Amino acid sequence: MNKAATAMPALALSDAAEPTRVRWRIFLLMLLLISINYIDRASISVAMPLIGKDFDIGPATQGILLSSFFWTYAFMQIPGGMLADRFGPRKTIVGATIGWGLFQAIASVCTGWVGLAATRLGLGAAEAPIYPAGGKLNGIWMTQTERGRGATLLDGGAPLGSALGALVISGLIAWFGSWRIAFIVAGVGTMFAGWLAWRVIRDHPRQHPAVNDAEAEYIESAHAADAALEPDTSRGTLIQFLGYRSVWGMFFGWMFFNTLFYGLLTWMPNYLAAVHGFNIKEMGGAVFIMFFAGFIGELVGGWIADKWISAGARQGRVLRTLFGIASILATIAIFSVSEVKNPIAVVALLSATLFFLRWCGVFWAIPSIIGTRKRVGFLGGFMNLGGNFAGIGVPIIVGLIVQNTGSYFYALMMFTGAGIGLLITSTMLIDYDKKIPI
């Protein structure tokens, strides 16, 4: 039995009222926001054939445009997490959502690729705080036995938005006959989502008008148990985090995770077309199936983690087992892609890869598990910094591999190696049962 569970006092909930479930409403909204996040970041990929013609730019310049988002997105992760710690997740999430919606809309009036790249840099910087702030929300609103599902609702927008992004943006372009109008519509819709976030999200359950006393007491009782186990953090600096193995395990684990995920997100459409002869329609359907499988896997992973912990299993054992199984099966599936020639079997294997890989969306519970409450945003930002180093490097590395070898084989072997790295870091380097005393 995990210590937090045994330390939790019996909940004295009112007999007159069942606890409300506002926390789940908030995390369903976070699922929507992260989905929009991925739709907006993918919009330029969908529109690139039209943008390339309008601006008369070749593949090399297009590659710069496609990767520019990650430059600011990666390096704003820690500042974004610190903003969430300083100003609270509500203001941070709302400001980020309105900000990236504005940059998405501004992109529509650009007359050259340099200006468009500038809007992508702005988009990356504005989107950066959303995940660290969401991780902080998980620590504020969810109990020990709910953080797995909270984390996977938070991160589930990545595969869901990836699945829907091509359909939404291409549909808008087809409807309006213009990528510029499509970007305006997407940007305005995102800013509306920011207004919705202001209406729904609060920094504490007691601040939310829809939360009754029973729900607030339920959350507070669970957090009191957490607080009783937290070490004294009156001393210590942020730089001291770098001396802890768990922090580096989290950093590199998320980097290996995103090496595989971003590799599939950026290069699998080209792989399916070049190696297996998929046309645009077949490729779009295959990508939707693959990433929707990832979304289902995300929800399944969170459900398994929470149910197992609720049954009394130790938190560390649950997460090591879950991550171990997921990384092994995802690694086997992606390796098998290199050995299979049948297109349907390839799509099935890629779908299996994403299904099991996305179990590791529970990683977004780690900042609130190993960090004290005031440091969750920083830890989430540091973890996502590692993940987005992969976002910067993987598209370029895979392109160089394919260009120089004329084959995707070594790229698939790199993805296989990333799966092995995820297995090692998530099962051997992170202590899930011990708070970092800073």
**What does the DSSP assignment read for 299-335?**
HHHHHHHHHHHHTT--HHHHHHHHHHHHHHHHHHHHH
Ramachandran area for residue 177 (φ above 0: left; ψ -120 to 50: alpha; else beta): left
Segment 58-80 mean pLDDT: 82
Inform me whether the pLDDT recorded for 271 exceeds 90: no
What is d(CA 82, CA 380) in angstroms, rounded to the nearest whole number? Answer: 9
Q: State residue 415 phi and psi, 5-degree precision.
A: -65, -40
Q: Which two tokens stand for residue 307?
A: 């149910």
SS3 64: helix
Mark out the alpha helices in 311-437 (DSSP H runs). Answer: 315-337, 343-357, 366-370, 376-405, 409-424
Structural domains in the chain, CATH included, are: 20-207+214-429 (1.20.1250.20)
49 CB neighbour count, 10 Å cutoff: 12
What is d(CA 62, CA 390) in angstroms, rounded to the nearest whole number? Answer: 19
Q: Which two tokens stand for residue 419?
A: 């799966």
CA 305 → CA 218, 266, 337, 350, distances in Å? 20, 29, 28, 23
Contact (Cβ atoms closer than 8 angstroms) between residue 126 and residue 103: yes
Q: Tell me: the pLDDT tens digits for 229-255?
A: 666 554 556 677 788 899 999 999 999
**Can you say how many angstroms the Cα of residue 348 is from the centroid of all Cα atoms in its chain?**
23
What is d(CA 182, CA 174) in angstroms, rounded to the nearest whole number? Answer: 9
Nearest to 185 by CA among 288, 177, 127, 66: 177
What is d(CA 76, CA 78) in angstroms, rounded to the nearest whole number? Answer: 6
* pLDDT-based confidence at residue 14 (cuts at 50, 70, 90): very low
What is d(CA 125, CA 41) in angstroms, rounded to the nearest whole number? Answer: 12
Those residues with Cβ within 8 angstroms of residue 310's Cβ, 6 or more apart along the chain or in another chain: 145
What is the DSSP code (8-state) at residue 426? I
What is residue 231's predicted lDDT score, i.e. its pLDDT? 60
Contact (Cβ atoms closer than 8 angstroms) between residue 183 and residue 177: no
Contact (Cβ atoms closer than 8 angstroms) between residue 42 and residue 262: no
Produce one character per residue of 119-158: b if its CB has 16 or more CB atoms within 10 Å, e if not.
Answer: bbbbbbbbbbbbbbbbbbbbbbbbbbbbbbbbbbbbbbbb
Any idea which residue has 């908030």 for tokens? 26
114 CB neighbour count, 10 Å cutoff: 12
Q: Tell me: the pLDDT tens digits for 300-315?
A: 998 999 899 889 899 8
Q: Tell me: the pLDDT tens digits for 372-420?
A: 767 777 888 889 889 888 888 887 788 788 878 888 899 999 999 999 9
Inform me whether the pLDDT recorded for 8 exceeds 90: no
Inform me whether the pLDDT recorded for 364 exceeds 50: yes
What is the pTM for the complete model shown?
0.77
Segment 122-151 mean pLDDT: 88
Say which amino acid occupies 195: W
Mark out the alpha helices in 107-212 (DSSP H runs). Answer: 113-127, 130-141, 147-155, 157-176, 179-200
Tell me the torsion sign for CA atoms 172, 27, 423, 437: positive
Average pLDDT value over all residues in the chain: 86
* pLDDT-based confidence at residue 154 (cuts at 50, 70, 90): confident
What is d(CA 303, CA 153) in angstroms, rounded to the nearest whole number? Answer: 10
Least confident of 3-7, 69-73, 228-232: 3-7
What is residue 29's predicted lDDT score, i.e. its pLDDT? 94
Identify the burial level of 92 via C-beta atoms within 10 angstroms of its C-beta, where 0-12 means exposed, 13-18 middle and 19 or more buried.
buried
Segment 28-45 mean pLDDT: 88
SS3 407: coil
Segment 135-146 mean pLDDT: 87
What is d(CA 391, CA 267) in angstroms, rounded to the nearest whole number? Answer: 12
The rounded percent of the chain whose pLDDT value lies above 90 is 45
What is d(CA 286, CA 397) in angstroms, rounded to the nearest whole number? Answer: 24
